[in-house]
């Protein structure tokens, strides 16, 4: 084999392995974005929960480190807490009326 061929093979292998890692975390990154959107929506209503932002931060760090599975876990936690906060926001939209003396 010529040195040029060996170099091209090594470069191709690095590009493929890098894209495989990116593909592995692409699902995690999509879930992180979904959780971020849900968090932003509930934050706009004033009912964001502190743990949601912490889970998002952890998920982004895990994804950047290549720990895609842990990034998925933290992103799912963030999404779950954002959804629960939205349920609270929707309940509180009318529940306050029952607490006001008439």
pLDDT in tens, 15-71: 544 444 556 689 999 999 999 999 999 999 999 999 999 999 999 999 999 999 999
Considering Cα of 19, then 23, then 28, then 30, what sign does the dihedral take?
positive
Residue 53: partners with Cβ closer than 8 Å, 6 or more residues away: 39, 78
Confidence of residue 12 (pLDDT cuts 50, 70, 90): low
Contact 42, 82 (CB under 8 A): yes
Least confident of 10-14, 21-25, 38-42, 95-99: 10-14
Q: Is the pLDDT of residue 97 over 70?
A: yes
Q: According to the model, what pLDDT value does residue 19 have?
A: 47
Confidence of residue 88 (pLDDT cuts 50, 70, 90): very high
Q: According to the model, what pLDDT value does residue 9 have?
A: 58
Contact 59, 28 (CB under 8 A): yes
Q: According to the model, what pLDDT value does residue 96 have?
A: 80
Residue extents of the structural domains in the chain: 36-92
Residue with tokens 């939209």: 93
Q: According to the model, what pLDDT value does residue 17 have?
A: 47
Cα distances (angstroms) measured from residue 19 to each of 22, 31, 81: 5, 19, 31
């Amino acid at each position: 084999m010529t040195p040029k061929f060996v170099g091209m093979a090594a470069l191709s292998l690095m590009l493929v392995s890098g894209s495989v890692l990116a593909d592995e975390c692409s699902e995690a990154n999509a879930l992180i974005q979904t959780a971020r959107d849900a968090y932003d929506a509930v934050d706009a209503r004033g009912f964001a929960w502190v743990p949601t932002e912490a889970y998002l931060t952890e998920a982004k760090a895990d994804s950047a480190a290549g720990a895609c599975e842990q990034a998925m876990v933290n992103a799912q936690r963030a999404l779950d807490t954002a959804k629960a906060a939205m349920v609270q926001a929707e309940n509180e939209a009318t529940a306050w009326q029952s607490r006001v003396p008439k």
